[in-house]
Structure 1
């Protein structure tokens, strides 16, 4: 009886220790598959012997880059013996270890550090987990820990556009170091585009003596002022290029860190820089007339074959990216050579001509033992076997490719274009548009729900892209990339079921210290207050949630329209109001306000729920369809939030009250952000009618805001009447002189 009781007590003790160990946590990103933190610390204030099996001879140098880890000697182990059980050990995994083929295990205890993996890529991942532990826990000791880990996806990618703005080799190495730290393993190097050719090609020296240099520093200035290229040495020359030796240096540097370099050489479009110096490859034969190769000219294909032959000798990547996107086909339609080729090959459309050209390049790469990869436009007309698609225009291209049995890397712009604004655009440097906060990045699941189960294997992973039109320096590039890269890293490494935003955000707080130590110019979380309003149309009640990017925000607010002070109500629960009101809120540190005031206008107005008759229909952005303009819900900072309705032919809508109602004001909010072509209306007019046929105007406003300022703006266009009037139909008309998009969120009538 005593023996049974003793065993029971031991089991309970072990169970409690196990539970206690699992309660401890170290804030690793990405989150490992399994991790147990135990009592005890391994002191790093000592020298360790290093033992490794031959599979990992090429990676041991990474351990010497950990400044806190002191290794006094190393030994290649042919057979693991008793004397190899202490110190730092990099050993090949055995079947009994039950380690995933692409994963690793890490154990830290009083015996030292034991890392196991089946192959070098897994061991490198384990080493960078060790690097992170060291950065998180300080230089003197590491917690006793057991980790068993594996990646969700084999492809974990990050892109850099050096065509628009050249960056130095030293920064690319820093970028690669940070990728490795967070287990990203494919660096997509966008080397050519209209703004500059960036790779030495010995057969075509003018690509780097002229096509690599442009007349203006800022891309926007160059784009709007002639788009000229100049010779290297010209006083105004802006640009640069990487020699083949430098490119090989980057390839080797990345390879040691488990990262594959995928070069992108654009074809057949985005090639203005090539055709400026080799105009005989264009349809017109003249420089500065087009950006697409002449596809009826065999010399175009020979040029690409010659270029790619040099590229594949530099880059060992199985993937070579050829772009293939956004080609303007108008020159092909009028080019005798292109039309003759189409007739000869039985090609009916210019899309089929482009597909023919892409297939020829893909076949050439195939003869070199490489796979072609391109943006989802390369799907048009079919692909050569073994090609891979990057789906950027949403997920449809990826779903189509995967369903057809093609491998896919998901990179949809709405979730993974890091050139989009990451916070309130009104507070940020000019960007190309869009709104992509880190939480939205983290929310993305690269495997589309509607993809058939047997086709999901074709989703190789995901990649984030950094296009540099509005990113003129590498410091700015860091600002746009971090900390969003950390959300990407966990999204592509950690299983979907193990990912939770709240948990990630908590761990993220510990990584700001790492980014500071690595001298990364990351985006700092804002104190600005954001609001989210949910309107209950049945109860006619608004529920307002307030937040900021701070992990533990201190927000104070008022509901009477007055400015918030240190004595104002502290926000801790959503605010519920059944009447129109103006909420004002701001962040505080102690008693000091540290943000601008967020103003939330709650309109419980007469038009809510009423039918809307569209004289001009929305285009491209339906939002909530016919219910959008009277659903009681305002739009947020982005026109893709499902509440802003988009119009290109002007705005003309009628609210039908079904009976005569008294009205005294009519208002609509519009948005302006010139970059993507979103503008305020030129004129805003309100008309009323009792019968729906005969309308009379009750007020007009002319827009006074110009379009030169690139920042995001919102404006309420409102007609206020001196005296209330009775009417049944209210017509709102807004002109569109800029021929871009008008975005409206709600017709507010009192």
Structure 2
């Protein structure tokens, strides 16, 4: 795609603040701890302070490009995050000084005293990171546009790890350049320094290769999957080399290296769609619209090897960083196993199995990259068949790959699923967007330790750092991408920059609040999932309906702030009642609550909980549980290209079944079920055998309503069976109604679809129980 980035223009800069200290007060919070994320290595407080106001000036040597850039970016951040306009001057009170005595390209010293602030570093990155620390000190509170008094302090700081990364998948869903620029800006604000771009996969090839133009002419566009109607829209896009060079330069100015990934030998369907002669079997597939693992591999013969080297040459001309990522993950070897040509190549090379062939292939490319003074890195599957000496490993299947590789003297990056997979949702709240349901909270990310215990002390230097991954099967909009990244990026930054002994989650929760406000001032979507109030009933909904009394427990995911609430649905304020114990209310009360910080400001949007009888009898897809032997793994959108965050459907893609939990059968007499038909677009490879098949007794299957389906040893009661319509002729959303048998107490109700797997996927959007037949 072609886009114009919104860059922070400016010339070299200088700063001084001239307001008397009496005009500004250090907030109480700042007196206890500085509002910095990540936490610096050493903070030494001294007497005095320095005030910064509009017109403050910065000095940087105009002949020092790195210092001038850092100063320019400091001015831009302060303007956005604090609303203060800093100016340039040859004799400013904020000074950028190059000092070779400070060891480490990313290390810095920031000194603040009554005369001003001095930013000192030996490297460009150190100067920039010191500027970002100062920008945070300038925006500690909500006093936007007001002067700020910074306490006198000396900060000596350097990172624990050299790789502090974030991967953005641009292949499953193409991500616009403006959205990537925005991510770069805010990665830099918390000292993340590596952006890994996943540029090819079965669903799209995003990097322009001039020697192979069909890769983007054909391979960058796919047809979105159908839900039974005519084929979907054509979607996709790609980045030109010139666009990516500009992004690389923009990122480099902010201390960020971009690592490109071309995924091989698997995840190659878009490649084979564009150049079938580079495939294995000889067919010409479409660019895939199925998420997961597809069978297409590239051909490792001489022509394929030459192709990859040409692609690598063009990649290296655009991306000057040390590492080139060549994937290597999830390459099911069936096509190689069934190819006489590939089998003959293996025999000629004396390679015993297909994993060995992948290892040989990786070694070819690693050697080629080494000849160009670059290094190959790949997902931990490249360990299978033997790890070439030239390779580094990014461990995603837990930590074992990293442990094994490091103990064999290979450099590693920790990127384990599910903890550092940011496409996993941050909470199970019903207002979360689509994504994976292996919930990874802010606390979970913060508590992750990037140095695995299985790596011996003398091998610890092989741990380069850690990286979070953001796969984009369910990321269509910048809002969705940002919601998943932030504020967990702050936790990632702290566990990779700060020393292990500096970690303190309670302190982090306090310090991350100003950073959240800074991001929002930068117009980012920052999830408030960790701080939003959630509601659970003490007892079942049936208990509340039978006794005409609901006992409601309020809590936030992260232990921060005071919960305040109202019982009339109005927005709570700092003067509203403080929550101290479960609320006992009559059904019909509307509870609205939010957590407030020590200054009386809400830290999340208020959330509403309705206790009316109709509300208690209604379950949405977010309330459903898995059927027996099942698991709800994904939160699906209505279509693959849906722009909205709702409706969403918690689903088990291996069985079209979800269950209404604890339905009060002695209260409910009937039901209404709202149904949606979704694309069935998953590449399951060998896991296809795990899909549960149900014999359909009508052409397109049925919905069966099974009461008591989770009671062991008991046959469920069939409350209704509804034939499903022809997907080609029926709307994608429809409803059915029925009656319930009279049964005492609560029962889970399974909603089992028996549609053939050749048809689209069905999901329940909502089930409402009725008190009349």
TM-score normalised to structure 2 length: 0.68
Task: Quote the Cα distance in structure 1 between the aligned partners of 2:267 and 2:509.
Answer: 39
Task: Quote the Cα distance in structure 2 between the aligned partners of 1:557 and 1:49.
Answer: 48
Find the partner of 1:104 among 95, 105, 108: 108
Give the Å deviation of 1:429: 2.3
For structure 2, the 5+ residue unaligned runs are 1-27, 76-84, 287-293, 540-550, 596-601, 612-627, 633-648, 659-665, 667-674, 683-689, 695-702, 734-739, 762-773
Find the partner of 1:338 among 327, 339, 342: 342
Find the partner of 2:392 among 388, 393, 399: 388
The answer as to whether partners of 2:423 and 2:471 remain within 8 angstroms in 1 is: yes
CA distances 1:555-593 after superposition (whole Å, capped 9, x unpaired): 6699xxx99999xx977567799xxxx9x9954369x99
Task: Quote the Cα distance in structure 1 between the aligned partners of 2:709 and 2:212.
Answer: 65
Q: 2:255: which partner in 1?
A: 258
The answer as to whether partners of 1:530 and 1:598 remain within 8 angstroms in 2 is: no
Q: 1:91: which partner in 2?
A: 98
The answer as to whether partners of 1:22 and 1:36 remain within 8 angstroms in 2 is: no
Find the partner of 1:283 among 271, 280, 285: 280
Larger radius of gyration, structure 1 or 2?
A: 1
> Within 5 A, what are the aligned runs for 1:659-698?
none
Q: 1:313: which partner in 2?
A: 317
Give the Å deviation of 1:447: 1.5
CA distances 1:685-715 after superposition (whole Å, capped 9, x unpaired): 87999xx9xx88585667889999999xxxx
Q: 2:419: which partner in 1?
A: 415
Q: Quick check: 1:437 aligned with 2:432?
A: no
Q: 1:449: which partner in 2?
A: 453
Which SS does the other structure have where 1:309 is aligned? helix
TM-score normalised to structure 1 length: 0.70
Which SS does the other structure have where 1:414 is aligned? coil
Find the partner of 1:464 among 462, 468, 478: 468
Structure having greater relative contact order (Cα 8 Å, sep ≥ 6)? 2
Give the Å deviation of 1:372: 0.7
Pair 1:544–1:594, CA change in 2 (3 A): closer
Task: Quote the Cα distance in structure 2 between the aligned partners of 1:441 and 1:545.
Answer: 26
Q: 1:136: which partner in 2?
A: 140
> Within 5 A, what are the aligned runs for 1:181-196?
181-196=189-204
> Within 5 A, what are the aligned runs for 1:139-288?
140-143=147-150, 144-216=152-224, 237-288=234-285
Task: Quote the Cα distance in structure 1 between the aligned partners of 2:396 and 2:228.
Answer: 23
The answer as to whether partners of 2:58 and 2:86 remain within 8 angstroms in 1 is: no
The answer as to whether partners of 1:109 and 1:145 remain within 8 angstroms in 2 is: yes
Pair 1:225–1:150, CA change in 2 (3 A): farther
Q: 1:612: which partner in 2?
A: none
149-158 or 392-401, larger mean C-alpha shift: 392-401
Find the partner of 1:71 among 88, 112, 115: 88
Give the Å deviation of 1:594: 4.7
Give the Å deviation of 1:451: 3.3
Which SS does the other structure have where 1:427 is aligned? coil
> Within 5 A, what are the aligned runs for 1:24-43?
24-37=32-45, 38-43=47-52
Pair 1:46–1:198, CA change in 2 (3 A): same
Which SS does the other structure have where 1:365 is aligned? helix
Q: 2:24: which partner in 1?
A: none
Q: Quick check: 1:361 aligned with 2:365?
A: yes
The answer as to whether partners of 1:475 and 1:521 remain within 8 angstroms in 2 is: yes
Task: Quote the Cα distance in structure 2 between the aligned partners of 1:123 and 1:441.
Answer: 28
Pair 1:553–1:688, CA change in 2 (3 A): closer
Pair 1:532–1:191, CA change in 2 (3 A): farther
CA distances 1:191-234 after superposition (whole Å, capped 9, x unpaired): 11122211211111111222222234xxx55999879xxxxxxx
The answer as to whether partners of 2:295 and 2:335 remain within 8 angstroms in 1 is: no
Task: Quote the Cα distance in structure 2 between the aligned partners of 1:142 and 1:284.
Answer: 69
Q: 2:59: which partner in 1?
A: 50
Which SS does the other structure have where 2:427 is aligned? coil
Which SS does the other structure have where 2:511 is aligned? helix
Give the Å deviation of 1:311: 0.7
107-116 or 678-687, larger mean C-alpha shift: 678-687
CA distances 1:134-191 after superposition (whole Å, capped 9, x unpaired): 3336563441332111211110001112223333333322221111111000010111
The answer as to whether partners of 1:554 and 1:587 remain within 8 angstroms in 2 is: no
Task: Quote the Cα distance in structure 1 between the aligned partners of 2:650 and 2:501.
Answer: 30
The answer as to whether partners of 1:557 and 1:571 remain within 8 angstroms in 2 is: no
The answer as to whether partners of 1:544 and 1:574 remain within 8 angstroms in 2 is: no
The answer as to whether partners of 2:41 and 2:498 remain within 8 angstroms in 1 is: yes
CA distances 1:349-405 after superposition (whole Å, capped 9, x unpaired): 222222222222222212221111111111111222242111112222222222222
Task: Quote the Cα distance in structure 2 between the aligned partners of 1:564 and 1:678.
Answer: 46
Q: Quick check: 1:427 aligned with 2:436?
A: no
> Within 5 A, what are the aligned runs for 1:589-600?
594-597=606-609
Find the partner of 2:563 among 554, 567, 575: 554
Pair 1:589–1:161, CA change in 2 (3 A): closer
Which SS does the other structure have where 1:369 is aligned? coil
Pair 1:595–1:300, CA change in 2 (3 A): same
Give the Å deviation of 1:478: 1.7
Which SS does the other structure have where 2:171 is aligned? coil
Task: Quote the Cα distance in structure 1 between the aligned partners of 2:125 and 2:501.
Answer: 24
Find the partner of 2:534 among 521, 529, 534: 529
Task: Quote the Cα distance in structure 2 between the aligned partners of 1:696 and 1:170.
Answer: 57
Pair 1:533–1:483, CA change in 2 (3 A): farther
Task: Quote the Cα distance in structure 2 between the aligned partners of 1:722 and 1:86.
Answer: 77
The answer as to whether partners of 2:107 and 2:159 remain within 8 angstroms in 1 is: yes
Q: 2:593: which partner in 1?
A: 588
505-514 or 254-263, larger mean C-alpha shift: 505-514
Q: Quick check: 1:399 aligned with 2:395?
A: no
160-169 or 306-315, larger mean C-alpha shift: 160-169
CA distances 1:582-636 after superposition (whole Å, capped 9, x unpaired): 9x9954369x99534399xxxxxxxxxxxxxxxxx97999xxxxxxxxxxxxxxx
Pair 1:107–1:331, CA change in 2 (3 A): same
